[in-house]
Amino acid sequence: MSDRAADASAADSRVVMDGEQISRACARMAHQLLEGNRGAGGLVLLGIPTRGVPLAERLAEAIAGVEGVRVPVGALDITLYRDDLRRNPTRAPAQTRLPVDLDDTTVVLVDDVLYSGRTVRAALDALGDLGRPRAVRLAVLVDRGHRQLPIRADHVGKNLPTAASERVQVRLAELDGVSEVTITRDSGAEGESA
């Protein structure tokens, strides 16, 4: 990338949440989860790879700080349940990791960005093959709108109205070395399909 292209890209990108704001959003969502569930009993957090998994861990840490109890945390691979496999068949599957039997629990699906709702639909399909939870909730760090399916998050770190031509990128220290959420104007794409 040329210096001019890098400068233009940096100019079109803006930070909308820094690490401290992400931490506060996770703490707030953890409190909401506890209130809605009337405590930590029966909660299971399942992160949707990639960034949903460290977010689920962060929520579990925040819950432990309030309740003194560590809720089970796992990962839910949705790769084979996505509706765009025909267009993008080369995805390498992640690995589903279930910390407990999901029957009669309250499963909280955790993801970084809620956009079209298709990722959540795939997660619900995958979850249906793994057990029968008492309830399923959705916690997302960013809800950017533009839903294509009738799906709504129960717990949102930040509602972030965006244009379809913008790209929302979540970076977390656990994976990226820095924690921030940025919006970038994406001149040629329609945005992610999360």
pLDDT, averaged per 10 consecutive residues of the chain (194 residues), comes to 49 91 98 97 97 98 97 95 71 82 97 96 95 97 95 97 94 98 75 45
Domain annotation for the chain: domains and CATH numbers: 17-163 (3.40.50.2020)
The pair of structure tokens assigned to 26 is 């996770």
Question: By the 8 A CB rule, do 68 and 39 touch?
Answer: no
Q: Residue 95: its pLDDT value, please?
A: 87
Q: How far apart are CA 140 and CA 113, in angstroms?
A: 6
Q: Residue 179: its pLDDT value, please?
A: 98
Q: Residue 189: its pLDDT value, please?
A: 47
Q: How far apart are the first and last CA of the chain?
A: 27
The reply to whether the predicted model has a pTM over 0.75 is yes
Phi-psi category of residue 112: left, alpha or beta, with phi > 0 → left and psi -120 to 50 → alpha: alpha
Question: By the 8 A CB rule, do 148 and 117 touch?
Answer: yes
